[in-house]
Amino acid sequence: MENRIALLGLVVENPQSVEPLNCLLHEYKDYIVGRMGIPHRERGISLISIVLDAPGDAISTLSGKAGMLKGVSAKTIYAKLSESKQ
């Protein structure tokens, strides 16, 4: 299966989900190109963006598992790359 480029956006509202989320991301470390986390202290949440270069099923699985953690919302955006750019 060919790799796709995706941006996974996470909103973490439950601080107790941070450790399981980090363990999950560690499992997919070979696919992670970059990661940025921003705490929004006034609201008590964290916003995380993760760039992935991975097979589509790996991206979907990671997004689904992250979204199943209590207090974590996940959305994925896929790049529309032509075959010549991959």
Please write the tens of the pLDDT for every residue from 17-47. Answer: 999 999 999 999 999 999 999 999 999 999 9
Question: Collapsing DSSP states into helix, strand and coil, what is residue 22?
Answer: helix
Per-residue pLDDT reduced to its tens digit, 40-79: 999 999 999 999 999 999 999 999 999 999 999 999 999 9
Confidence of residue 9 (pLDDT cuts 50, 70, 90): very high
- Cβ atoms of 70 and 14 within 8 Å: the answer is yes
Start-to-end Cα distance in the chain: 13
Which helix H or strand E contains 5, and what residues bound it? Answer: strand 3-12
* pLDDT of res. 62: 98
Distance CA 62, CA 59 (A): 5
User: Residue ranges per domain, the chain?
Assistant: 3-80
Q: Pairing state of beta strands 32-40 and 45-55?
A: antiparallel
82 pLDDT tier (thresholds 50, 70, 90): low
Q: Which CATH architecture best describes the domain 3-80?
A: 2-Layer Sandwich (3.30)
The pLDDT of residue 85 is above 60: no
- pLDDT, greater one: 65 or 85: 65
